[in-house]
C-alpha cells in the first residue's frame, strides 16, 4: 500500500503492535464473538459506540454511518476528536495508541459514563486488527490529522497534519478482512435496526445511515428521537399495529448517586409481553437487577392498588407477574459508571445496587400515576384480571389433560417414532411436517438416538393464543409430550428427553411458515429451551447434482453451479440436476445422509434473537392489522421474494 519504506523510528513499535494485534487475528471470536455476519456488524458497533460515548459525554450530537463500495464503511461524529497529542509513555499519538494497542481502552481522562459497547474503547484496536485497511481522520477545530493502517494495523507513517479546519470530530473508514470474516458485505437493515435502537436510547442524538454502494439503492435514514424511550415504545406498537389500552406511554426517570434509570411502558390488547432492558446502552438479553426491580415493583403496585380499592377481594388471589405484564411493552434503560455483566452470554446486569433503586422509583411513580389516571388503572387492571382467569383456566386444562395423561411422558404420542437411547446428551428429536416426509425420516434415521415426530393437524396460530389454548391443541400437544419438560411456568429442562430439538421442514414458503410457527411457539411458551440452545433448524439440500455414480448435494445456487462445473465430463457431458421441492422427494437414504447424519448435515442453532425475530415476523404477518403487514412486506420485499410469498 505504501511506497516509502518503513521509517526506522517505527520499526520497534510496529513489531510490538503487530504482535499485539496478531492475538486478535488469531482468536477473533474472543473479541467479537463470531466471524459470521454478527461479528462483522459488531465492528461497526464498536466504532459507533466510541462516538456514542462522546455523545454521552455531551460533546457530540451527530453520528453518521456510510456504506461504501468494496465493503468499506465510514463512521463519523462531530465530537471533540480523539486526542492526537503524543502519548506520555508510548511516544506516539494517543489516537494511534487507541487504534494499535490492544486494551488501550479505558479511555483517556475521566468522568462521564464511559459506557456504550462491550469493549469500552478497546474496540478501536480490535477493528483495526480485523481490517485490511483503516483510515483515521481527526478534526480538532484547527487541523485535520490523518493516519492510515493496513493489513491488521501496520503503518508506515505516524499521525500527521494534512490540512486546516474549524470543525471538530472523528472519522474512521475501514474495510473488514475477508480472510477472517465469512462474509464482508454489510446488511443495511441490520445496521438500521441497531442505529435506531441507539437513537431511541440516546434521545436527541442524530444518527444517519447512508448506502453508497452501487447496488445499495441510494437508501438513507436520518434518525433522531427527542422522545427517547417514549418514542421507542410508540414505535414498537405502531409497527405491530397494536391497539393500545391508553394513548400515551407511561414514563419515569430517576437518579440516585451516579445511577440513572429511565423507563417507558404502555399496554396493548394482545397477550404478549415485551420487556427490553439496557444497561449503558447495551441490550441485557438475560435481564438482571434493573429488570427484576421493575417487575417486582409492577406486580406489587397493581396488587396494592387492587386491595386498596377493593377490586381484589379478600378471598381473591394476588395477581402474578405474568398477569400484570400481559400486553405490556416496556423499555428499561439504566446508566451507571461501572456495569457488571454476568450470565451465560454476559447479557445480565449484576449490579445489586440497581434493583432497589429501580424498584423504589417504579413503586412511587407508578402508584402516583395510577391514582391520577384511574381510567387507565382500571383498564390495565381488568386486563390483568382476565389474564389471571385465563391462567387459572390453563392450570385446570393442564391438570385435566394430565389426568387423561395426554401430556404425561409415560404415554408418548402415537406418531412418535422414538429412539432407543435415553440419554438427552445424545438424543435428537426431529419435528417433521407432513406424513410422507415423516415416513422417509423414520427410515433414514439412526434409530439408536434419533426420534421422529411428524406434525399433522391444523397448526394453532400461536400469535393469538394464550397458554390455555396450547393444551389440547392436536398439533402442539404431541410436541410438548414428546419433549417431556412441560411448558410455560412449569417448564423443567431437567426432564427434557432430547438434547437437540430439530425442526425439519421443506425449503419453501410453507416450510418457512412451519419453522416460524414452531420457533414462535418455543419462544413464547418454552423459552428456556431456546435460551439453553436446544432448538435447531435442519437444512435440507436444494439440489442433487449427479453424473453416473458421482453425487453432490447443493444447499445454495452457487454450490449447485460449482458442482455442475466439477461434474461436467471431459466430453462436456452435463450432470443431471434435480431440484428438491420438498423433503418428501428425497428417498430415506438421501434424507438421512444429507439432512440428518451428523457427519454430513448442517443444522442451525436457533438463538433467542432468531426466535424473537420469528415472533416478530409472525406478529406482523399473522396479526389482525393489515397496514403493518403490507408495510412489512414492502420493507422486506427481498426477504418476501426469497420466500416466494
Ligand atoms: C467515529 C468514531 O471514536 N469519537 C471519539 C473518540 C474519543 C473521543 C472523542 C475523546 C474522548 C475523550 C477525550 C475522553 C476517544 N476514543 C478513544 C478510544 N468516533 C470516535 N470522540 N477526548 C476525546 O474519553 O476523555 C479514546 S478518546 F480509545 F476509544 F479510541
In angstroms, the first-to-last Cα distance of the chain is: 47
What is the predicted pLDDT for the residue at 413?
Answer: 82
Residue nearest to atom 26 of ligand 1 (CA): 107
Among 178-182, 351-355, 397-401, the range scoring the smallest mean pLDDT is 397-401
What is the predicted pLDDT for the residue at 632?
Answer: 47
Q: How far is CA 465 from the centre of its chain?
A: 24
- Quickly count: other Cβ atoms within 10 Å of residue 245's Cβ: 17
Q: Is the pLDDT of residue 357 over 90?
A: yes
Q: What tens digit of pLDDT does each residue of 544-594 get?
A: 999 988 989 998 888 999 999 999 888 888 899 998 878 888 899 999 999
Higher pLDDT: 432 or 510? It is 432
Atom of ligand 1 nearest to the CA of 47: 2
Higher pLDDT: 414 or 167? It is 167
How many CA atoms, within 13 angstroms, populate the side-chain half-sphere of residue 170? 26
Residue nearest to atom 20 of ligand 1 (CA): 51
Give the residue ranges of DSSP H helices in 264-309: 289-308
Higher pLDDT: 64 or 474? It is 64
Is residue 637 very low, low, confident or very high in pLDDT (cuts 50, 70, 90)?
very low
Q: What tens digit of pLDDT does each residue of 170-201 get?
A: 999 999 999 999 999 999 999 999 999 999 99
What is the predicted pLDDT for the residue at 534?
Answer: 96
Q: Is the pLDDT of residue 643 over 50?
A: no
DSSP string for 148-177: EEETTTB-SS--EEEEE-S-EEEEEEEEE-
How far apart CA 450 and CA 441 sit, in angstroms, is 10
CA nearest neighbour of 617 among 628, 627, 605: 628
Cβ neighbours of residue 345 closer than 8 Å, sequence gap 6 or more = 285, 286
Among 5-9, 166-170, 203-207, 363-367, the range scoring the smallest mean pLDDT is 5-9
Q: Is the pLDDT of residue 210 over 60?
A: yes
Residue nearest to atom 30 of ligand 1 (CA): 98
Top-confidence range, 299-303, 553-557, 583-587, 631-635: 299-303
Q: Is the pLDDT of residue 166 over 60?
A: yes
Percent of the chain with pLDDT over 90: 61
Q: Is the pLDDT of residue 82 over 80?
A: yes
Compute, in angstroms, the gap from residue 48 CA to the centroid of ligand 1. 11
Q: How far is CA 637 from the centre of its chain?
A: 21
CA nearest neighbour of 118 among 46, 28, 44, 207: 46
Q: Is the pLDDT of residue 446 over 80?
A: yes
Q: Is the pLDDT of residue 346 over 90?
A: no
Could you write out the three-class secondary structure of 523-578?
HHHCHHHHHCCCEEEECCCCEEEEECCEEEEECCHHHHHHHHHHCCCCCCCCCEEE
Higher pLDDT: 164 or 30? It is 164
Compute, in angstroms, the gap from residue 98 CA to the centroid of ligand 1. 9
What is the predicted pLDDT for the residue at 102?
Answer: 83
Compute, in angstroms, the gap from residue 188 CA to the centroid of ligand 1. 25
What is the predicted pLDDT for the residue at 631?
Answer: 55
CATH topology of domain 229-396: Ribosomal Protein S5; domain 2 (3.30.230)
Compute, in angstroms, the gap from residue 121 CA to the centroid of ligand 1. 8
Mean pLDDT throughout 299-320? 94
DSSP state of 284: -
396 within 8 A of 472, measured Cβ to Cβ = no
The CATH code of domain 409-540+603-642 reads: 3.40.50.670
Mean pLDDT computed over every residue of the chain: 86
385 within 8 A of 326, measured Cβ to Cβ = no
- Quickly count: other Cβ atoms within 10 Å of residue 312's Cβ: 21
Residue nearest to atom 27 of ligand 1 (CA): 82
Active site residues: 433, 506, 508, 510
Higher pLDDT: 578 or 622? It is 578
- Quickly count: other Cβ atoms within 10 Å of residue 274's Cβ: 21
What is the predicted pLDDT for the residue at 625?
Answer: 53
Higher pLDDT: 641 or 171? It is 171
Is residue 636 very low, low, confident or very high in pLDDT (cuts 50, 70, 90)?
very low
Among 363-367, 579-583, 612-616, the range scoring the smallest mean pLDDT is 612-616
Q: Is the pLDDT of residue 81 over 60?
A: yes
Is residue 626 very low, low, confident or very high in pLDDT (cuts 50, 70, 90)?
low
- Quickly count: other Cβ atoms within 10 Å of residue 18's Cβ: 16
Q: What tens digit of pLDDT does each residue of 17-56 get?
A: 677 899 999 999 888 888 999 999 999 999 999 999 999 8
Compute, in angstroms, the gap from residue 47 CA to the centroid of ligand 1. 10
**Mutation test of ligand 1: which of 77, 83, 134 has the most ligand atoms closer than 8 Å to its C-beta?**
83
Higher pLDDT: 392 or 373? It is 373
Q: What does residue 140 show for φ and ψ, rounded to 5 degrees? A: -110, 20
CATH class for the domain made up of 22-223: alpha beta
What is the predicted pLDDT for the residue at 498?
Answer: 97
Percent of the chain with pLDDT over 70: 86
Is residue 515 very low, low, confident or very high in pLDDT (cuts 50, 70, 90)?
confident
What is the predicted pLDDT for the residue at 464?
Answer: 61
Cβ neighbours of residue 385 closer than 8 Å, sequence gap 6 or more = 311, 319, 323
Compute, in angstroms, the gap from residue 475 CA to the centroid of ligand 1. 55
Helix (H, G, I), strand (E, B) or coil at 503: strand
Helix (H, G, I), strand (E, B) or coil at 584: helix
Query: Strands 428-433 and 450-455: what pairing?
Result: parallel
What is the predicted pLDDT for the residue at 105?
Answer: 43
What is the predicted pLDDT for the residue at 622?
Answer: 52
In this structure, the residues whose C-beta lies within 6 A of any atom of ligand 1 are 47, 50-51, 54, 75-77, 79-80, 82-83, 98, 105, 107-109, 121, 124, 170, 172
What is the predicted pLDDT for the residue at 628?
Answer: 54
What is the predicted pLDDT for the residue at 402?
Answer: 61
DSSP string for 32-52: HS-SSHHHHHHHHHHHHHHHH
Q: Is the pLDDT of residue 219 over 50?
A: yes
Among 51-55, 132-136, 362-366, 471-475, the range scoring the smallest mean pLDDT is 471-475
Locate the domains of the chain by residue range.
22-223, 229-396, 409-540+603-642
Residue nearest to atom 3 of ligand 1 (CA): 50
| Global confidence as pTM | 0.73
What is the predicted pLDDT for the residue at 344?
Answer: 74
What is the predicted pLDDT for the residue at 588?
Answer: 93
Top-confidence range, 108-112, 354-358, 631-635: 354-358
Strands (E), 58-154: 62-67, 73-77, 131-140, 143-150
453 within 8 A of 416, measured Cβ to Cβ = yes
354 within 8 A of 287, measured Cβ to Cβ = no
What is the predicted pLDDT for the residue at 428?
Answer: 97
**Mutation test of ligand 1: which of 48, 54, 124, 208 has the most ligand atoms closer than 8 Å to its C-beta?**
54
How far apart CA 209 and CA 134 sit, in angstroms, is 19
Partners of 453 in the beta sheet?
431
What is the predicted pLDDT for the residue at 103?
Answer: 65
Residue nearest to atom 6 of ligand 1 (CA): 82
**Mutation test of ligand 1: which of 62, 77, 79 has the most ligand atoms closer than 8 Å to its C-beta?**
79
478 within 8 A of 518, measured Cβ to Cβ = no
Residues 433, 621, 398: CA angle, nearest 5 degrees: 60
DSSP state of 460: P
Is residue 12 very low, low, confident or very high in pLDDT (cuts 50, 70, 90)?
low
Q: What does residue 477 show for φ and ψ, rounded to 5 degrees? A: -55, -45
Mean pLDDT throughout 423-447? 91
What is the predicted pLDDT for the residue at 642?
Answer: 31
Amino acid at each position: 500500500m505504501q511506497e516509502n519504506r518503513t521509517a526506522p523510528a517505527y520499526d520497534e513499535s510496529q513489531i510490538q503492535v503487530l504482535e499485539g494485534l496478531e492475538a486478535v487475528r488469531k482468536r477473533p471470536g474472543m473479541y467479537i464473538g463470531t466471524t459470521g455476519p454478527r461479528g462483522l456488524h459488531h465492528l461497526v458497533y464498536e466504532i459507533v459506540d466510541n462516538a456514542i460515548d462522546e455523545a454521552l459525554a455531551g460533546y457530540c450530537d451527530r453520528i453518521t454511518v456510510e456504506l461504501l463500495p468494496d465493503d468499506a464503511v465510514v463512521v463519523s461524529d462531530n465530537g471533540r476528536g480523539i486526542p492526537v497529542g503524543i502519548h506520555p509513555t508510548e511516544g506516539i499519538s494517543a489516537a494511534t495508541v487507541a487504534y494499535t494497542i490492544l486494551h488501550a481502552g479505558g479511555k483517556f481522562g475521566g468522568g462521564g459514563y464511559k459506557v456504550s459497547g462491550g469493549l469500552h474503547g478497546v474496540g478501536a484496536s480490535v477493528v483495526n486488527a480485523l481490517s485490511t485497511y483503516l483510515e483515521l481522520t481527526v478534526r480538532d477545530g484547527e487541523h485535520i490529522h490523518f493516519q492510515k493502517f493496513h493489513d491488521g494495523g501496520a503503518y508506515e507513517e505516524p499521525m500527521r497534519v494534512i490540512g486546516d479546519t474549524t470543525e471538530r470530530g472523528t472519522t474512521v473508514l475501514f474495510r473488514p478482512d475477508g480472510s477472517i470474516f465469512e462474509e464482508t458485505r454489510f446488511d443495511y437493515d441490520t445496521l438500521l435496526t441497531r442505529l435506531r435502537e441507539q437513537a431511541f436510547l440516546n434521545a436527541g442524538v442524530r444518527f444517519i445511515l447512508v448506502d453508497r454502494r452501487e447496488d445499495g439503492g441510494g437508501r438513507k435514514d436520518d434518525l433522531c428521537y427527542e422522545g427517547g424511550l417514549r418514542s421507542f415504545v410508540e414505535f414498537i406498537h405502531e409497527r405491530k399495529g397494536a391497539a393500545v389500552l391508553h394513548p400515551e406511554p407511561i414514563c419515569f426517570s430517576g437518579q440516585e448517586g451516579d445511577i440513572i434509570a429511565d423507563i417507558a411502558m404502555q399496554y396493548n390488547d394482545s397477550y404478549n409481553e415485551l420487556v427490553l432492558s439496557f444497561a449503558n446502552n447495551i441490550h441485557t438479553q438475560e435481564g438482571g437487577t434493573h429488570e427484576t426491580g421493575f417487575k417486582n415493583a409492577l406486580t406489587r403496585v397493581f396488587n396494592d392498588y387492587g386491595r386498596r380499592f377493593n377490586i381484589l377481594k379478600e378471598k381473591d388471589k394476588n395477581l402474578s407477574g405474568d398477569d400484570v405484564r400481559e400486553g405490556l411493552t416496556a423499555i428499561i434503560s439504566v446508566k451507571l459508571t461501572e456495569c457488571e455483566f454476568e450470565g451465560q452470554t454476559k447479557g445480565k446486569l449484576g449490579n445489586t445496587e440497581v434493583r432497589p433503586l429501580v424498584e423504589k422509583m417504579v413503586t412511587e411513580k407508578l402508584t402516583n400515576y395510577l391514582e391520577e389516571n384511574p381510567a387507565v388503572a382500571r383498564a390495565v387492571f381488568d386486563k390483568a384480571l382476565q389474564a389471571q382467569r385465563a391462567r387459572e383456566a390453563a392450570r385446570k386444562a393442564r391438570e385435566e389433560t394430565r389426568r387423561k395423561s395426554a401430556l404425561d411422558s409415560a404415554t408418548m404420542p402415537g406418531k412418535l417414532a422414538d429412539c432407543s437411547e435415553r440419554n438427552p446428551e445424545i438424543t435428537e428429536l426431529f419435528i417433521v411436517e407432513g406424513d410422507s416426509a415423516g415416513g422417509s425420516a423414520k427410515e433414514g434415521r439412526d434409530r439408536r438416538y434419533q426420534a421422529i415426530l411428524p406434525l399433522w393437524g391444523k397448526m394453532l396460530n400461536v400469535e393469538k393464543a394464550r397458554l390455555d389454548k396450547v393444551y389440547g391443541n392436536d398439533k402442539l400437544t404431541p410436541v410438548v409430550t414428546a419433549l417431556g419438560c412441560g411448558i410455560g411456568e412449569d417448564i423443567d429442562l431437567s426432564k427434557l428427553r432430547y438434547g437437540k430439538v430439530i425442526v425439519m421442514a421443506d425449503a419453501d414458503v410453507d416450510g418457512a411458515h412451519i419453522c416460524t410457527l414452531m420457533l414462535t411457539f418455543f419462544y413464547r411458551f418454552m423459552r428456556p429451551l431456546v435460551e439453553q440452545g436446544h432448538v435447531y433448524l435442519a437444512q435440507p439440500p436444494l439440489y442433487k447434482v449427479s453424473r453416473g455414480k458421482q453425487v453432490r448435494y447443493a444447499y445454495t445456487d452457487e454450490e449447485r453451479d460449482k458442482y455442475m462445473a466439477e461434474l461436467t465430463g471431459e466430453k462436456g457431458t452435463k450432470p443431471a440436476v434435480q431440484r428438491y421441492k420438498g423433503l418428501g422427494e428425497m428417498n430415506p437414504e438421501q434424507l438421512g445422509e444429507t439432512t440428518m447424519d451428523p457427519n454430513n448435515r448442517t443444522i442451525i442453532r436457533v438463538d433467542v434473537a432468531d426466535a424473537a425475530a420469528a415472533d416478530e415476523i409472525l406478529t406482523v404477518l399473522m396479526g389482525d392489522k393489515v397496514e403493518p403487514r403490507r408495510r412489512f412486506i414492502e420493507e422486506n420485499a427481498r426477504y418476501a421474494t426469497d420466500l416466494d410469498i
